[in-house]
Amino acid sequence: MRIAVMGAGSIGCHLGGHLARQADVEVTLIGRPAAMAVVAEKGLTLTSGRREPLHVSPDRIAVATEAAAAAGADVVLVTVKSDGTRAAARELAPHLAPDAVVVSFQNGLHNAEVLREELPQRTVLTGMVPYNVLQTEPGTFHQGTGGALMLDDGAPGAPLVAALAAAGLRVEARADMRAVQYAKLLMNLNNAVNALSGVPLRAQLGDRSYRTCLALCQREALAAFRAAGVTPAQLGAVRPALMPRLLRLPDAVFTRLAKAMLAIDATARSSMWEDLQRGRPTEVDSLQGEVVALAARHGLSAPANARLAALVHEAERASQDGGGRAWSGPELLAALRAKA
């Protein structure tokens, strides 16, 4: 099986690296020149709190910087950030085999739609990565949380599901990927809270003020989903509709009830935090921005999400100028409530 990964950053290198360890899978990573030079020299190191580090030697994995390298791939995993999807699809279009299966392993609600628009003859599937992956040093990617990858059920995705499982990754084929994406969006509303907090996920989720910020965002999102007739999938032990109430519980009670949610490496942070550290644009418009737009389409407002998106955009500008600040939980909550 030949697999190309378009957009080899944290998720692309994590998935591509695991798949490349299989003898019957050939992986080509397509990414930026500096990142690909590191992989060509050192290969990849894949770490997680749960097992020994895995190393993928450079001779097990091909690297490229142009979409032409996806020619001949049976499966193309798209792992660029949402704002790069259309450009990536246009670059891929002239090169993909007619029967190539394209899989979006991105957050946000519209990436598969964009891929279908730009690649009308190809089969495009929706995937979902439930956990967090960060680059800890060049060529090393750390998985900080757990969960099963999810992918559209059916014949086109079945070989990939089998390859991911054979590579030791937990994976589920699902018939309800649209509902899964909405559930993931609810979880991803925490990315902005975490990015602005400046503290690791476990400490941030252990703090009631930060959790209340997330609860405000989720409550607005759930109201917009209801108005749109959407029911998010239940991905964990708690029904999505109950999450805002759970998040607001006092720290001691939350810590006891939400053990699974807090089973996070002590150093893990959201990839939006990493984007701010590196002065890169974030995906907040595909997360908080999506909730604001959906609410507006149904005559609702989503002020906490709008305010959080504005604060992240301020932080993007500050980080590009080499600055930025960390928000304490009470400060962030006051800022959201001021508009809410």
Ligand X SMILES: NC(=O)c1ccc[n+]([C@@H]2O[C@H](COP(=O)([O-])OP(=O)(O)OC[C@H]3O[C@@H](n4cnc5c(N)ncnc54)[C@H](OP(=O)(O)O)[C@@H]3O)[C@@H](O)[C@H]2O)c1
Is residue 204 part of the contact set for ligand X (CB under 6 A)?
A: no
The stretch among 15-23, 127-135, 292-300, 330-338 that binds ligand X (CB under 6 A) is 127-135
**Contact between residue 182 and residue 230 where contact means Cβ atoms under 8 Å apart:** yes
DSSP assignments along 311-325, one per residue: HHHHHHHHHHTT---
Distance CA 88, CA 70 (A): 11
Q: Which of 3, 4, 5, 7 touches ligand X (CB under 6 A)?
A: 7
Length of the chain: 340
Return the number of the residue (188 or 212) whose C-beta is nearest ligand X.
188
Residue with tokens 């930060």: 210
Closest-CA residue to 336 (of 211, 197, 216): 216
Distance CA 127, CA 106 (A): 7
Tokens coding 9: 């950053």
Find the shortest distance in angstroms from Cβ 150 to ligand X: 11
The stretch among 76-84, 152-160, 173-181, 230-238 that binds ligand X (CB under 6 A) is 76-84
- What mask, x for binding ligand X by CB under 6 A, covers residues 259 to 288? ------------x--------x--x-----
Return the number of the residue (114 or 336) whose C-beta is nearest ligand X.
114
Find the shortest distance in angstroms from Cβ 129 to ligand X: 4
SS3 61: strand
Closest-by-Cβ residue to ligand X is 9
Tokens coding 189: 């509303």
Tokens coding 31: 């990414």
Is residue 133 part of the contact set for ligand X (CB under 6 A)?
A: yes
Is residue 208 part of the contact set for ligand X (CB under 6 A)?
A: no
Contacts of 216 (CB under 8 A, 6+ apart): 244, 304, 336, 337, 340
The stretch among 40-48, 79-87, 228-236, 238-246 that binds ligand X (CB under 6 A) is 79-87
| Binding residues with ligand X: total (CB under 6 A) | 26
Binding site for ligand X (CB under 6 A): 7, 9-12, 30-32, 35, 79-82, 84, 87-88, 91, 106-108, 129, 132-133, 271, 280, 283
